[in-house]
């Protein structure tokens, strides 16, 4: 079995593959609403490479972190704007 | 603020940046190689979590023994060619690098043309899906459609297939005549990714349809209105619905010119202008790879060699690569002709199609507007977090606006980073 790390998504523990980026790990968990648009639409990663800003999340209290550029780390706390 | 110094700073660690850093280091220069990603290789050579491709392993080995210092996870957000400095945010901390010479190798991004419903989760880039899969996204059992234009579609389909997705089909907007002429000519350029990928896709029976493009996406399940259930496609005559829960699409690549523009380098027709030694219009600033024009990994590698040697004041060694560059540029020109965007793609956009995803600005709101500047002021189009990186290129194609404004910070950073403070802890 491959190694996992534990992140906290909107207050819930989730095990994700070690070495995964946060965007990929959350997509694999089935998350579809990474952020909510100005008009309330759900948005999820588009470009996967740090350009489009659609995967922005709050990570360890820091807002607007691009999930596609961030490797998952043990204990990382992640919040979407509407859980 | 943390500060570092080097002879040669390379921004972007794809094929061009890696080659440039290595060549400059071989000439005895102290080299820093920075990339906003956590791993080297750029988009084209992005390593899968398990194993890096052979080319990347070879370059990593070369770099490891060359003395190049690597700054991974460092996003450049401000730069000044007069002061010869670039400011990065890394691990939420500001970092200022002073350089003797600067080599820009910031690569390219995908062009996403809007169509009704393109903001729906489940719709990702053709390059985007490759990045996400390599980052650990599992696509086993997903029903995927790959659409848009260019060789990336075939690479995306091959990777999706390899990772257990059911690839329903590849929809290529260019005509069969152009596509086949291009494919037939590939023998002149051995080692092209497309050949290998095309073989894989062909063998495993992914149908490729030319002359079709996206005009919609949707869902028939009112309880889960956000889920992607189908895409709508047309060939200009017929319209068809294709069932899928994943769409990977993209209309080719566009150079990432923001950092170059911020430094005051001349940009023309969307690409950074360079001379034969890959020097930009700004003294001490060179550029290599796709920000100088889209041409693939091999061209980027060659340009990287030239820029690296030129930055180390070894023009003779740089010149040894001129012939290879000329050959790869011929390929780039063929690529551009083969996958030229058809005019009809503009009519996929309806009144209420979103053009700017950051600010939810619709095509209707943009109608009657004559320039990018006017659009920004009147509608907030391009004023959001991505600073027009997504909608700007789309608006250039759709409306013919010239999109050229750039302001620091060129990526969103912490307020503390701007002020040069260290992060709380």
The yes-or-no verdict on residue A40 having pLDDT over 50 is yes
pLDDT, tens digit, 9 for 90 and up, residues B225-284: 888 999 999 999 999 999 999 999 999 999 999 999 999 999 999 999 999 999 999 999
Average pLDDT, chain B: 92
- Phi, psi (degrees; rounded to nearest 5) at B70: -105, 130
Q: What angle do CA B78, B32, B326 make, to 5 degrees?
A: 90
Q: What is the pLDDT of residues B66-110, one digit of tens each?
A: 999 999 999 999 999 999 999 999 988 999 999 999 999 999 999
Predicted confidence at residue B190, as pLDDT, reads 60
> What per-residue string of b and e applies to B326-336 under the rule 16 or more CB within 10 Å gives b?
eebeebbebbe
| ipTM of the complex as predicted | 0.97
Interface test with A, best of B89, B132, B365, B412 (most A CBs within 10 A): B132
B121–A33 CB contact, under 8 Å: yes
Within 10 A of B270 (CB to CB), how many other CB atoms are there? Answer: 17
pLDDT tens digits, one per residue of B165-193:
999 999 999 999 999 888 887 777 666 55
Q: Per-residue pLDDT for A24 more than 90?
A: yes
pLDDT of residue B177: 93
Quote the pLDDT of residue B425: 41
pLDDT at residue B321, as a whole number? 98
**CA–CA gap between residue B85 and residue B72 (Å, rounded):** 18
Both tokens assigned to B358: 């950051």
Nearest to B137 among A27, A56, A70 (CB): A27
| pLDDT reported for residue A1 | 45
- Tell me which residues of chain A have a C-beta less than 8 Å from any C-beta of chain B: 16-17, 19-21, 23-25, 27-28, 32-34, 37-39, 41-54, 56, 62, 64, 68-71
- Average pLDDT value for residue range B360-364: 97
Q: What is the reported pLDDT for B417?
A: 85
Quick one: tokens of B48?
A: 């899968």
User: Which helix (DSSP H) or strand (DSSP E) does residue B127 occupy?
Assistant: helix B126-134
Q: For residue B49, give the chain A residue with the closest CA.
A: A19
- Answer yes or no: is pLDDT of B331 > 70: yes
Residue B109 corresponds to which tokens in the numbers above? 């991004």
> What pLDDT shows up at residue B191?
60
A62, B92: Cβ pair inside 8 Å? yes
**Distances in Å between the alpha carbon of B336 and those of B150, B187, B224, B268, B330?**
9, 17, 40, 16, 10
């Amino acid at each position: 079995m491959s190694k996992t790390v534990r992140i906290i998504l909107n207050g819930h523990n989730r095990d994700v593959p070690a070495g995964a980026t946060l965007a990929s790990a959350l997509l694999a968990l089935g998350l579809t609403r990474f952020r909510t648009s100005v008009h309330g639409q759900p948005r999820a990663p588009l470009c996967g490479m740090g350009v489009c800003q659609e995967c922005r999340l709050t990570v360890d209290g820091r807002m607007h972190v691009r999930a596609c550029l961030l490797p998952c780390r043990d204990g990382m706390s992640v919040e979407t704007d509407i859980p | 603020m943390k500060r570092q110094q080097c002879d040669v700073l390379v921004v972007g660690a794809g094929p061009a940046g890696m080659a440039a850093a290595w060549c400059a280091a071989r000439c005895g220069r102290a080299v820093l190689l920075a990339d906003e990603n956590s791993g080297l290789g750029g988009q084209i050579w992005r390593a899968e979590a398990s194993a890096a491709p052979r080319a990347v392993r070879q370059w990593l080995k070369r770099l490891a023994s060359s003395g190049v210092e690597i700054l991974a996870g460092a996003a450049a957000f401000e730069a000044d060619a007069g002061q010869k400095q670039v400011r990065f945010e890394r691990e939420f901390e500001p970092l200022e690098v002073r350089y003797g010479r600067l080599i820009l190798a910031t690569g390219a991004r995908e062009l996403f043309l809007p169509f009704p419903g393109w903001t729906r989760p489940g719709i990702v880039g053709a390059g985007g899906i490759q990045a996400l899969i390599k980052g650990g996204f599992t696509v086993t059992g997903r029903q995927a459609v790959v659409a848009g234009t260019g060789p990336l579609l075939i690479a995306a389909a091959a990777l999706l297939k390899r990772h257990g997705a059911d690839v329903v089909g590849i929809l290529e907007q260019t005509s069969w005549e152009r596509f086949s002429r291009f494919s037939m000519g590939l023998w002149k350029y051995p080692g092209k990714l497309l050949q290998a990928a095309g073989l894989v896709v062909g063998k495993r029976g992914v149908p490729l349809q030319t002359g079709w493009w996206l005009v919609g996406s949707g869902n028939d399940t009112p309880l889960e209105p956000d889920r992607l259930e189908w895409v709508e496609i047309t060939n200009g005559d017929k319209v068809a619905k294709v069932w899928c829960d994943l769409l990977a699409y993209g209309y080719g690549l566009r150079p990432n010119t923001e950092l170059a523009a911020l430094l005051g380098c001349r940009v023309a027709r969307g690409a950074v202008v360079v001379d034969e030694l890959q020097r930009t219009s700004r003294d001490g600033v060179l550029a290599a790879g796709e920000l100088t024009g889209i041409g693939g990994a091999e061209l980027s590698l060659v340009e990287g060699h030239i820029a690296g040697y030129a930055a180390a004041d070894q023009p003779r060694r740089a010149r040894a690569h001129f012939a290879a560059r000329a050959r790869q540029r011929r390929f780039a020109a063929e690529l551009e002709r083969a996958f030229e965007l058809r005019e009809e793609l503009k009519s996929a956009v309806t009144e209420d199609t979103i053009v700017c995803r950051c600010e939810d600005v619709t095509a209707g709101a943009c109608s009657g507007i004559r320039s990018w500047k006017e659009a920004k002021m009147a509608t907030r189009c391009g004023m959001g977090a991505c600073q027009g990186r997504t909608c700007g290129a789309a608006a250039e194609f759709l409306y013919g606006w010239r999109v050229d404004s750039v302001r620091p910070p060129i990526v969103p950073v912490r307020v503390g980073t701007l002020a040069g403070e260290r992060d709380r802890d």
